A and B are shown apart, each in its own frame.
Chain A
């Protein structure tokens, strides 16, 4: 898949995972990978970007003698997902258009 397009989709995938519940790095990668391939090194910049844009907030929690950093979706993060879902009709139209032009 095109790198730029995948980048945009991954942002929303991470948000979608966080919509279920706040989560941490390792689990986010596991959950997102069910649907689209994502490496550890890809996730880090995504989380930084989402945080800088106010779409997620972070907090740390003690876990088995160490700390885990949790990421929690914000209202704006939820809105970002909604906006993405609303784009779907448009994408479908473009897809159909491209498919039609192929024949």
Chain B
């Protein structure tokens, strides 16, 4: 039997397989025939060594069926999600038609959930309502879902409260190796159970970002005035940046680096296995456990007005680096001992970012509690309102009970809600009986 006959026979027997899959099988055997002939055997000989086309096709179809049953299981989970959200009828599917290398989801004031796709296709589930404008594009290997609310966006959150939960669900194919960009405003983003080599970028503002149980290539997270939480994640690199919110990373492993940056919030890491760690905040403590031995790390540690248990080592040329910078907050990092796998390393006592902050000055206290330490889920980003140091409404900034503090050292500006004073560095402004008093004599 020659090459054409064999491949033709094999393709005939793969009837129920998709065209793309059939092509892969043909390419595989074509390459084997060419390599076999090159090593000195005849084409017939090589083909005869493969055995009967019937048996070959049988093995391929059996493997396909076992993969498919897994997919069906995943699909039923998605259906569960739909019925849970109570919007089964109203949800519309926006599906990528072909294979894509880039997935972009942009929305405003809508919470976004990112999950794994049940059938290898990228798609978005969303229930558009009056005033929603949705455009979906697919070109040049990129799938874009863009959503805008045509009414004044300031009202969008009120609409949310009345209309129940509004979210965008993005499904990313298993083993995806392209880029995924998700962007929203004033709402949280949650990614869970992804497994691939994707570059995952999640950007929000005033909404927390949570990544749970994800294996990706790169993780880039950015938000403001809210918490970032990464649990059981793995990949090459992770960059996470927020402001006025804490950052938590637990049970995670990155082969290149983990760079965390926030302000006015604590950083807590627990059992992280990364050769290059940078933890940077202000007015907040940095605590946790790092996999490895202290002597394996080149360490830089700096804080003000508080203690650090780390010793700066200077440039030591070690493979592992740990840099911790904060102000007005303590630093306490423990090491697990010899480097091990994250899952296998003995679980350290979980650090408690809400616990005592003895070294912390007054300035850092509110940052710790901002952006909803409570895990109770309410409406989109708005559930954080009670704890927030300030909120935006009616075009004005409203400052909460605990006041607000910006900047560092002599440049610190602190507005104290309790007595109505504004302090700038060592100076003080009080508004009393309609008069502005600058640096008044202390009573």
Residue ranges of A at the interface with B (Cβ–Cβ < 8 Å): 24-27, 29, 39-42, 44-45, 47-49, 51-54, 57, 64, 66-69, 74-76, 79, 82
Contact: A25 with B32, CB < 8 Å?
A: yes
Q: B49: CB under 8 A from chain A?
A: yes
Return A87 CB to nearest CB of chain B, in Å: 13
Cross-chain contact of A44 among B34, B59, B234 (Cβ < 8 A)? B59
19 example contacts (A-B, Cβ-Cβ < 8 A) are as follows: A24-B35, A25-B35, A26-B35, A26-B39, A27-B35, A40-B56, A41-B59, A42-B59, A44-B59, A45-B59, A47-B28, A48-B24, A52-B174, A57-B177, A66-B34, A68-B31, A74-B197, A76-B215, A76-B234
Return B265 CB to nearest CB of chain A, in Å: 30
Return A83 CB to nearest CB of chain B, in Å: 9
Cross-chain contact of B51 among A41, A47, A76, A82 (Cβ < 8 A)? A41
Residues of chain A with a CB closer than 8 A to B236's CB: 75
> Could you tell me the distance between the alpha carbons of A82 and B59 in the complex, rounded to whole angstroms?
28
> Could you tell me the distance between the alpha carbons of A47 and B59 in the complex, rounded to whole angstroms?
12
Contact: B175 with A52, CB < 8 Å?
A: yes
User: Looking at the complex, which of B60-68, B274-282, B349-357, B362-370 is the stretch in contact with chain A?
Assistant: B60-68
Contact: B63 with A49, CB < 8 Å?
A: yes
Return A69 CB to nearest CB of chain B, in Å: 6
Fill in one digit per residue for B224-265: 1 if any A CB lies within 8 Å of its CB, else 0: 000000000010100000000000000000010000000000
Contact: B28 with A44, CB < 8 Å?
A: yes
Fill in one digit per residue for B90-122: 1 if any A CB lies within 8 Å of its CB, else 0: 000000000000000000000000000000000
- Binding site secondary structure of chain B: helix
Residues of chain A with a CB closer than 8 A to B28's CB: 25, 44, 47, 69
Number of A-B residue pairs with CB-CB distance less than 8 Å in the complex they form: 73
With both beta carbons as reference points, the residue of chain A lying nearest to B195 in the complex is identified as A54
Q: In which size bucket is the chain B interface?
A: 20 to 34
With both beta carbons as reference points, the residue of chain B lying nearest to A66 in the complex is identified as B34
- Chain B CB within 10 Å, residue with most, of A42, A49, A76: A76
- Supplied contacts A49-B63, A68-B31, 18 more A-B pairs, CB within 8 Å: A25-B31, A26-B35, A26-B36, A40-B50, A40-B56, A41-B55, A41-B59, A42-B59, A45-B60, A45-B62, A47-B28, A51-B175, A52-B67, A52-B174, A57-B197, A68-B35, A69-B28, A75-B234
Q: B25: CB under 8 A from chain A?
A: yes
Contact: A40 with B177, CB < 8 Å?
A: no
Residues of chain A with a CB closer than 8 A to B25's CB: 44
- Binding site secondary structure of chain A: helix
Return A92 CB to nearest CB of chain B, in Å: 19
Q: B29: CB under 8 A from chain A?
A: yes
> Could you tell me the distance between the alpha carbons of A69 and B59 in the complex, rounded to whole angstroms?
21
Contact: A54 with B174, CB < 8 Å?
A: yes
Contact: B255 with A75, CB < 8 Å?
A: yes
Q: B27: CB under 8 A from chain A?
A: yes
Given contacts A44-B59, A57-B197, A82-B341, contact A26 B175 (CB under 8 A): no
Cross-chain contact of B196 among A40, A54, A66 (Cβ < 8 A)? A54
Given contacts A41-B51, A53-B175, A54-B195, contact A66 B31 (CB under 8 A): yes
Return A10 CB to nearest CB of chain B, in Å: 12
- Chain A CB within 10 Å, residue with most, of B32, B38, B49: B32
Contact: A69 with B31, CB < 8 Å?
A: yes
> Could you tell me the distance between the alpha carbons of A68 and B38 in the complex, rounded to whole angstroms?
13
Return B59 CB to nearest CB of chain A, in Å: 5
Given contacts A39-B51, A52-B174, A57-B197, contact A69 B27 (CB under 8 A): yes
With both beta carbons as reference points, the residue of chain A lying nearest to B177 in the complex is identified as A57
With both beta carbons as reference points, the residue of chain B lying nearest to A39 in the complex is identified as B51
With both beta carbons as reference points, the residue of chain A lying nearest to B57 in the complex is identified as A41
Contact: A54 with B197, CB < 8 Å?
A: yes
Residues of chain B with a CB closer than 8 A to A79's CB: 341
Residues of chain A with a CB closer than 8 A to B195's CB: 53-54
Cross-chain contact of B50 among A41, A53, A64, A82 (Cβ < 8 A)? A41
> Could you tell me the distance between the alpha carbons of A64 and B27 in the complex, rounded to whole angstroms?
16
Residues of chain A with a CB closer than 8 A to B59's CB: 41-42, 44-45
